[in-house]
Structure 1
């Protein structure tokens, strides 16, 4: 499926050495992959001399091995204990840009409570003893749940943890096998629409500005194909800014929202435009800046929970901000369109 080398060059204009660079991008076809799809659809990568080759995975965790051996150049990932343990084992990649975060109004992974439990659920203290769903052990979502529990003076061990993939949360909420969940969109809105659950709080309230998803570059791509990597980031940030133009008051309701929703329905499994209009979208910094404080906090949480194989891993050793800095300088300041 994958080529063995890094960025592939072919004849044509742009790219390295006068050729077109093929950049292999791993996605889970989720709504937070929107900038990749926007950049491809609107020709922003092509203008940089880049042809994007998308490779679909059913989880971000499965991208790590091909990213580490150079079979992927770019990937979408969530900061997690597994990610940092891969670094400790010598897997070479860098976190280079924001892909999903939670600024005010954009808490796209809300705390949901089953309809059966909602009537007696008055606050975070009522989470104690509940069965709470997360996508996997030791992810950024685990740290989100920890922050919710801390608001009531509870610890991470004061709930029963159920590790269930986000798309399966809806069924688990419906059949009562869990009491609550931290569920990303659009599954969260689906659960609410079916009456399976009610929304108690958005991630932006639980953990403001949490860095929930990041863009990753393979070490080979970042080092050996640095100019192509920079150009890819220019195309990515142009698309991120288009995505930000589509945001308005916590919804995809900005001036170009119809266009962005159309691209999402084309590239993702969710074909219901109405669901995209109803759900709470993720935030993405228009300059691609990562929230380093959030990454540090979550890394410390993984250490405190004994989930890391080595204490030697540091955020400074994993993050490379040079690509977003160069791309932002080239593109200039972002200006949000007037909200009508």
Structure 2
């Protein structure tokens, strides 16, 4: 009887060892999170979180992977080479439309007016100073993107009819800026820092979204990463939120990151009279009305095969307490 009890105890010990991995206190390594990083100011909180060590503090293994363009970033999403990035709702919807399951988990910039600034500017010698003068004037932009969506939103809100909004395609921002400043085009839509640089170089700001957010940028994450590593993605956004607080308290301390990583011209940050400022708010979920506007615009422009719902494009679990 005593031998039987010892044998049973031995079997129980073996079972415990197997289930605990045979080594008390050994923890499973965190899943790696790869973020695609464009050289844009919207990514500042992630760069700050890396510099401050907030990812490591949270027990995360995060790699920030640079990409020169949104096209290459989105291709990396499709190939499952990255788990997340900062983009816009149009990019989320377009990838969903093509079968790449990606969802927005938080607004990055554009929560309040003044963040994520886009401007419609006229050439220095165009004579265009008022919004009404833009009617039937070709405006340079990147078509079928956030540029065109924002331009439509701003001008329709200003009382334009859709057929009074004319567009010409110049996808690359530096080329578009040069075309505006040398008068090749009479008007162009530019995001900051290009909009501020154009103003300081003599272009006329006709209209911007400082009173109308129009469309926010978002943190977007692959569905597979959300399902397999929800706890990790939650910690990622907690580190992001901590970095936003740092930026809000003393934004100028991160000017070096904006110059190095986001390629913001240093003279725009050194200009004390007209210093370029980037504003960030604590992350929230995208508003339903913003998602609806994007989907409707994309359907009207035949960029979506079918309507997509809020749940198709947004995952609310990451910001849940």
Of 36, 59, 66, the match for 1:56 = 66
Q: 2:266 matched to 1:262?
A: no
User: In the aligned structure 2, how far is the partner of 1:45 from the partner of 1:276?
Assistant: 30
Identify the residue that residue 119 of structure 2 maps to in structure 1.
Answer: 110
Identify the residue that residue 129 of structure 2 maps to in structure 1.
Answer: 121
1:265 Cα deviation after fit: 2.5
Structure 1 residue runs of 5 or longer lacking an equivalent are 1-15, 246-255, 327-340
Q: 2:248 matched to 1:244?
A: yes
Identify the residue that residue 295 of structure 2 maps to in structure 1.
Answer: 299
Give the conservation status (yes or no) of the 8 Å contact 2:152–2:165.
no
Give the conservation status (yes or no) of the 8 Å contact 2:36–2:64.
yes
The 1:168–1:176 alpha-carbon spacing in structure 2 relative to 1, beyond 3 Å, is: same
1:20 Cα deviation after fit: 4.3
Q: TM-score, normalised by structure 1?
A: 0.78
Of 274, 282, 285, the match for 1:289 = 285
Of 24, 27, 46, the match for 2:37 = 27
In our comparison, the structure showing a higher alpha carbon Rg is 2
The 1:107–1:237 alpha-carbon spacing in structure 2 relative to 1, beyond 3 Å, is: closer
The 1:160–1:90 alpha-carbon spacing in structure 2 relative to 1, beyond 3 Å, is: closer
The 1:66–1:43 alpha-carbon spacing in structure 2 relative to 1, beyond 3 Å, is: same
The total of aligned residue pairs comes to 293
1:132 Cα deviation after fit: 0.8
Of 64, 75, 80, the match for 2:85 = 75
The 1:71–1:267 alpha-carbon spacing in structure 2 relative to 1, beyond 3 Å, is: same
Identify the residue that residue 212 of structure 1 maps to in structure 2.
Answer: 216
Map Cα deviations across residues 249-286 of structure 1 (whole Å, 9 max, x no partner): xxxxxxx1221213323433336164376455454431
User: In the aligned structure 2, how far is the partner of 1:273 from the partner of 1:243?
Assistant: 20
| Paired residues for 1:168-183 under 5 Å | 168-183=175-190
The 1:86–1:231 alpha-carbon spacing in structure 2 relative to 1, beyond 3 Å, is: same
User: In the aligned structure 2, how far is the partner of 1:266 from the partner of 1:58?
Assistant: 14
SS of match in other structure, 1:164: coil
User: In the aligned structure 2, how far is the partner of 1:279 from the partner of 1:75?
Assistant: 27
Of 73, 76, 79, the match for 1:66 = 76
SS of match in other structure, 2:255: helix
Of 166, 172, 191, the match for 1:184 = 191
Give the conservation status (yes or no) of the 8 Å contact 1:96–1:321.
yes
Identify the residue that residue 39 of structure 1 maps to in structure 2.
Answer: 49
Give the conservation status (yes or no) of the 8 Å contact 1:61–1:77.
no
1:287 Cα deviation after fit: 3.0
User: In the aligned structure 2, how far is the partner of 1:37 from the partner of 1:114?
Assistant: 34
Q: TM-score, normalised by structure 2?
A: 0.82
1:212 Cα deviation after fit: 3.1
Identify the residue that residue 102 of structure 2 maps to in structure 1.
Answer: 93
